[in-house]
Structure 1
């Protein structure tokens, strides 16, 4: 583990650095100054050439001696006078005068009596000799003039000798002074070096002390690190245990839910009185609510563990919005609210998104808006987010009770309840907004809210959903599968209610089912019998779904290649990967619905895409009117009589007839418009007309038409003329059956 110096440790490190820097500054600054002074002294000697003072004085004395010798030679009897040689010697002597007087650092000599006397005599000699050497024709030829110069030279020579000696003494004094300075500076250097050594020793001692403390701290940190590692391992183990617990609890709770909801769905299709049907609907609503709370808790737990992942795919935002609107409209209508959900014209047709999670955000926000609005309207709009590539903006505005600033500040806090009385009266787990915000963040966006008490609320969601092309349409089946094929299905399920529900479900779908309670029994049955597909529950005793799949793939013979569909309510994200790794072909979620199972069998290649959902098999029309018992059974399966009765009671007869005409009457009736779209083959128009028919049929409680139109909407992208023809036939049959049931139902309703 890496530990950065923070707090007190950081303060100590900074002060250590400052102290060392100050000590180095104090000791090195004088040393640097002394070194600079020594360099200056050496440079002064080199530049000014102090030792040349004596040499130049000696040169002046020597050149005067050469001049004297040359003149004396010219005075000897019989000597030949060499005028040029005499002039040359004189000029050399004169040049040496300037060297002595102008030499660098002549301040060491020019104040001495010897220098002053010598220079005076030399200057007087020059005044005397210049006329002589200037007139080489007469004066220099005169013997008496040369003799006078010799006498003058004899007077100067002692003074120049004394000047040379004085220059020697001056040089010696200068050297002594420089040596004294160097000795003094050397002493200072030694003293400062000693001080520096002492300071360094002190710092070494302090550093050793500090290092010892660091070693102690390091050992403590190592111990803490070890404790943290142990705690981390324990936390990971606890998190793994939590994941396992969530998986088990998801299974243990959702498994009986499958039985409860499945049986409620089956019970709703039997002959029930209005009161009984109300009881069933209440029970189903309660079960759905409880399942929603469970899903919220599991979603939050999955987000906490960091294992929640989005599954983006091409999504039509308009179709998704229409789906949410159709499901929310009934709830809004029950409260007398106006619900307006619209999509902007410039919204992309297809985007890459996780449709489940986008739908979850929309349901949460619209559901809250409807829930907390007693009168007025709820308006939702989906549009592009300007200035952001791939940005989509969802706004949900209501005219409800609104919130104050304190409530808005705590709105996304888990389990936060602004008003306990309202929460108890309206309900809610307090998790939906937190989940929605986290999902929006995962999609690269945010959720903002503005609200005022009694003025309603406005929620704004930003999401990054990149635009994409429409998904490629699936090719029609090659014909190797039979749309009416009966499958032999092996079902491994340990819950008795689910066994009963799946038995009824598979029977209605027209398949033969064999049941067992665990994976081990499934293996034994596969060894003795032939099956087309195996439905395995994920959590089972003896041998669970994953272990059973691995054992199936290890078998010898054709059974090892059988299609395996895993039925699970597990929300742990790596379940799908583990299942695919051991050889699972497809998945179906709990609570298991006929549509989900049908799609899984279709993706396994066991059924053609044209296969109809046979929980309401295609009937054969009879010319004669049904008997009363048949009528009641038919109406229960085709019409939600309670919903239809409520609609009839609310509307005048002429309005009701007009509404039914918009549904059934050719050529403008919704059914006939959809039939025409199916014949034309325009996938987008088919989906739109089917969605429109589905909404009207849901409003009137026409169950068969809802099922068929929903199936047509879902299969609209399929470019399969045979499938569309069969769907049209099914729609026509459901229309005729529904109209017939309406006629018979009207006869039984008191005027």
Structure 2
């Protein structure tokens, strides 16, 4: 080491110097001590220098290391800044893409719906015209294609709303059975085209009046049933609704859609409820579809607070199910009084296992004891045991005539020949076929489509009970305000094979009109604001079909000018127009109304192809009162007009019923199928007419003629009484019309009159004019059917004579 070498050299030099100087003896230790001290000093200095050198080297190393670390941090910060800038740019690009997608969907929705608005309603109106069979087939194809395109557009828009969390549920009261029937009615034709059996199994314990979002519930069910039909080539599709339980405010229901289709393998089930996915790629090519339906269903069920899943086996079918809570209606906690139903036995006869199961559940739920058998012989054996073994007698026999037609007469005779035949009620259930005349004695006939309340009444002999949980006026239950008065345009009379749009009624005998009718004869004025000539023509045709004429304006500016100088009852306003759009025009008109301070508000309804989330709210925020998305169907427009012009819609109904020309209708037996669910009462009961013909013979035509002469007088009395209103007079006139119409088999008219009578008697007839409008519409249908019956069954056309005196009423010929 350098410092040690230096110290040794110094010691050597010192010793040499001492020796040369001749220092020896006692001075030698002193000299050596001094040399040692010098050596120690040199060693200490050398060590200090070494330490300082090491310290300096460490400082330099640490400084170099720190500098290197600073350079590394500087580079990391630069990379972080670059990544952050890239993320910001990516986020901005994603937001721009999402915005562009939304704008694209909105634009495409508007652009696709605009031509569809010229296609769908026109095809609908064309379907009401007389067409050759091949033309009607081509029309059906075009209609199905247009609706399919509209469903695809709606699916994409719904998914866009769900993705943006902008789809909300609208809670309202509705009847679950009516909703289920509407789903099956919509799906009946696709199922029929594939030869599939479509059926409903509804647990009798399920409460029918509920609160929820009927539109979204119907959407889920329609999607699931439609998928089941699509993927099923043979067999059946069944919609099952069961009650799982309840809380203080909710019913928990389980909906199942069972099919016998192709099934789904286990690997594919996990993908089913994802967006744009089906079981495999070939499925889309074979069956079509966007792959969004089940994803939309899952999101809607999630919004409802439920869950959805599937159980499936390849080659044997699938069951899609979801559970969802529905809110209770007011008064749903009240318990029914079963009364005489308790402990009564009912004998159910049907070879159809599903029908037996449903009837068994119904009877059990009503507090009765069901005994179900498959054949007539089994039923006869059961009845024989009652007398032979002194068993408890049956309250009623409920028989499905379509399954035991060949042996039904034997069952009927066995019951009517009992010692006390009236103690056992006999109820026939029929489908498409009619009940033979010989089976009518001491029996009640009901269509399979009849409400459960009617079946319950037939078994007990009591008046039909209607659900009282939905606390609404009696007429509201017949004529729901939300859907508007029902013009009998699609109902087929019992003796007509073509749709009845507006049947005629005989001319009312000339007499002073009630004040309310005179006031209603002021034709409502509508302003249609539309710049597209196709949409303009379509809307005019739709309004004309509903009995309305309208004025037109090509943009909002022209509309404003007309609205300031003319009186209108309602404005149908397009939103996107040149010069001045619908939003600005509406806002300006509301300002004008405020300045005028008249206190009135002109209803303005948006008619727009914009159907994205927020479009409805944008219209309402602009001051519009309602919203119709194009393409607008006749039913949607009719419901809207009824909401804002209810009295004038009644006027249109009355004029359509009383002024339309009548064409004799060909005779055909009435049928009640899922294709068009039959009403509770037929327009014309052929059986009653045949019984009348047996009694009256050649006088049958005269009896019908007298009824057609006298009924207008009763209807005029009803109108006068409704104008006051005089409920007592309405009750009396409705009672007479109820009995006289029943005498000639006009059962739907009789039922309508009976509802007016009961409502007037109970003082619950809150909208008398609406109830009378329904009676008038039913009378028009009955008149048309009676004229067709007389022309083809009696071989003579009816020639009504003026009804001059009350003595010419049917009551003088047939007892009330």
> Which residue among 278, 283, 289 is the counterpart of 1:428?
289
Partner of residue 127 from structure 2, selected from 255, 268, 284: 268
Deviation, structure 1 residue 461 = 0.6
**CA displacement, residues 342-379 of structure 1 (integer Å, 9 cap, x when unaligned):** 32223233333211110001101111112222222222
SS at match of 1:535: strand
1:583 aligns with 2:623: yes
1:467 pairs with 2:328: yes
Matched with 1:726 is: 773
Q: Superposition pairs for residues 85-124 of structure 1, below 5 Å?
A: none
Match of 1:535 among 572, 592, 614: 572
Residues 745 and 585 of structure 1: is their aligned pair in 2 closer, same or farther, counting only changes over 3 Å?
farther
Match of residue 650 from structure 2: 611
Residues 1:222 and 1:310: Cα distance change in structure 2 (over 3 Å): farther
Partner residue, 1:338: 197
| Aligned CA distance change for structure 1 residues 514 and 385 (closer, same or farther; 3 Å) | same
Q: State the shift of 1:531 in Å.
A: 2.4
Q: Following the alignment from structure 1 to structure 2, what is the Cα–Cα distance between the partners of residues 207 and 346?
A: 81
Superposed CA offset, 1:268-305 (max 9, x none):
22232222222222211221111111111211122222
Q: Which piece of structure 1 moves more, 278-287 or 449-458?
A: 278-287
Q: Counterparts of 1:486 and 1:480 in 2: how far apart (Å)? A: 12
Change beyond 3 A, Cα 1:579–1:374: same
Deviation at 1:457, TM superposition (A): 0.7
Residues 295-374 of structure 1: pairs in structure 2 closer than 5 A: 295-374=154-233
- Indicate conservation of the 8 Å contact 2:531/2:555, yes or no: yes
Report the Cα distance in structure 1 between the residues aligned to 2:135 and 2:653, rounded to whole angstroms: 26
Provide the C-alpha distance between the structure 2 equivalents of 1:308 and 1:439, rounded to a whole number of angstroms.
9
Q: Does 1:509 align with 2:546?
A: yes
TM-score, length basis structure 1: 0.57
How much has 1:203 moved relative to structure 2?
A: 13
Task: Tell me how far apart the structure 1 counterparts of residues 654 and 542 of structure 2 sit (CA, whole Å).
Answer: 7
Contact map agreement 1:378 1:397 (CA 8 A) in 2: yes
Q: Which residue does the alignment assign to 1:678?
A: 755
Residue 678 of structure 1: how far off its partner (Å)? 2.8
Larger Rg: 1
Instruction: Pick which of 546-555 and 382-391 moved more.
Output: 382-391
**Aligned-pair CA distance for 1:449:** 0.6
Is 1:288 aligned with 2:147? yes
- How many residue pairs get aligned? The number is 495
Structure 2 distance, partners of 1:591, 1:671, is: 34
Instruction: Output the CA distance in 1 between the equivalents of 2:211 and 2:267.
Output: 37
Q: Is the 1:239–1:305 contact (alpha carbons within 8 Å) kept by the matching residues of 2?
A: no
Instruction: Quote the residue 1:520 is aligned against.
Output: 557
Hey, what does 1:499 align to over in structure 2? 536
Change (3 A) 1:439 1:245: same
* Distance in 2 (alpha carbons) for counterparts of 1:613 and 1:454: 54
In the alignment, is the contact (CA less than 8 A) between 2:574 and 2:582 conserved in 1?
Answer: yes
Distance 2:218 2:303 in 1: 14
Please, which of 564, 580, 584 is the counterpart of residue 547 of structure 1? 584
Extract unaligned runs of 5+ from structure 2. 1-60, 331-468, 482-514, 677-684, 692-740, 796-816
Q: Distance in 1 between matches of 2:747 and 2:316?
A: 39
Q: Structure 1 residues 585, 743: closer, same or farther in 2, change over 3 A?
A: same
Q: Secondary structure at the match of 1:608?
A: helix
Q: What is the CA distance between 1:212 and its match in structure 2?
A: 8.9
Q: Is the 8 A contact 1:372 1:401 kept in 2?
A: yes
Q: Distance in 1 between matches of 2:315 and 2:562?
A: 65
Matches within 5 A, 1:397-408: 397-408=258-269
Taking the TM superposition and a 5 Å limit, the aligned residue runs for 1:107-506 are 221=80, 224-386=83-245, 390-418=251-279, 423-469=284-330, 473=472, 483-506=520-543
Secondary structure in 1 matching 2:320: strand
**CA displacement at 1:522 relative to structure 2:** 1.7
1:204 shift after superposition? 14
Q: CA deviation at 1:319?
A: 2.1
CA distance in 2, matches of 1:607, 1:251: 30
What is the root-mean-square deviation in Å for CA atoms of aligned residues? 4.6
CA distance in 1, matches of 2:236, 2:780: 38
Residue 246 of structure 1 deviates from its aligned partner by: 2.2
Alpha-carbon shift at residue 527 of structure 1 (Å): 3.9
CA-to-partner distance for each residue in 1:555-607, whole Å, 9 max, x for gaps? Answer: 35479943211112322222222222221112223222343334333433x43
Corresponding position of 1:736: 783
Number of the residue aligned with 1:37: none
Q: Residues 396 and 675 from structure 1, CA distance in 2 versus in 1: closer, same or farther, beyond 3 angstroms?
A: same
Question: Where do 5+ consecutive residues of structure 1 fail to align?
Answer: 1-201, 648-655, 684-716
Tell me whether 1:571 sits opposite 2:611 in the alignment. yes
Q: Which structure's relative contact order is higher, taking Cα pairs within 8 Å and 6+ residues apart?
A: 2
Please identify which structure carries the higher helix content: 1
Structure 2 Cα separation of the partners of residues 424 and 573 of structure 1: 30
Distance 1:297 1:621, change over 3 A: closer
Partner of 1:160: none
Q: Tell me by how many angstroms 1:673 deviates.
A: 6.8
Deviations 1:479-530 (A, max 9, x none): 8995554222221112212211222222343433121222222223334433
In the superposition, the TM-score normalised over structure 2's length comes to 0.53
Cα deviations by residue, 1:122-181 (Å, 9 ceiling, x for unpaired):
xxxxxxxxxxxxxxxxxxxxxxxxxxxxxxxxxxxxxxxxxxxxxxxxxxxxxxxxxxxx
Report SS of the residue matched to 2:656: coil
Q: Secondary structure at the match of 2:646?
A: coil
The answer to whether the 8 A contact 1:666-1:672 is kept is no
Kept in 2, the 8 Å contact 1:518–1:541? The answer is yes
> Structure 1 residues 499 and 661, CA, compared in 2 at 3 Å: closer, same or farther?
farther
